[in-house]
Structure 1
Amino acid sequence: MGCDMFSCMCSRAVHIEVIEAMSTRSFINTLRRLFAIRGPVKQIRSDCGIYFITTSHELEMDQLNPGFKRVEEYLDTQSCTWVFNPPHASHMGGAWERMIGIARRILDCMLLEQKRSYLLQEVLTTLMAKVAVDHDYSCK
């Protein structure tokens, strides 16, 4: 089980999705939920993590893939582009990496309060929803 986190680069709003597996299919479904819940997205930016690269290939976003034109047209109709940072340029993702750090600290505090060695998916989903809206959370 894992999480995908999206951060708006304008408002810094955070959207977190709990996923069953770090797989391409899970990520595609996460994107669909993001678009359904939050509405249109102009641009998706990400690092060159293997998870994102594999997904882009499965979505046929590779320019060497004959299906690339079809996906490019779909993204164009959605007014959305997906931009990858250059390899070895982690500093270019500083804005969203900061949001990930904040979310992790909030989650750590919440988990300390739970005092459990494991979490059910329902509890984790609830905690992640609270993390997404509660940036002012502080450990007691």
Structure 2
Amino acid sequence: MTTPTTSPMHAAVMASDLSTLQDLLARGESPDVSDHLGFTPLHLAAQQWSVPAAEALLGAGASVDPENTFGNTPLFVAVFNSKGRGELIELLRTHGADALHANRSGQTPVGLARLIANYNVAQWFADLPT
């Protein structure tokens, strides 16, 4: 099976085109399609900080913890791109995202949150032990 470089789902998320994303999902397109680096549309929604796209993908049954080739889950990507915002982090955690999932470098989303010093991202993980 050949993995696409990008898919229409990826393109819709990157363009913040929620209408097209919802149309693709309604036509039965997989919310878990991955590109050549293992990025799913949910990874890209986390990267673009698109809460509406993430909600649509999760509502369509997207896997919450897929790994890209670096071992990063959408929650890790959301933490990295949060700039202190928490809506997407909370959304992913509410859907069962694993805050302790280590990537290929051994870093977890909660660990990354606690390393970020210029924003208080760790507040979104205050329920977890240090």
The structure with the larger Rg is 1
Pairwise same-fold verdict (TM > 0.5): no
The structure with the greater share of residues assigned to strand is 1
The structure with the greater share of residues assigned to helix is 1
Which structure exhibits the higher relative contact order, with contacts defined as CA atoms closer than 8 Å and separated by 6 or more residues? 1
* TM-score normalized by the length of structure 2: 0.29
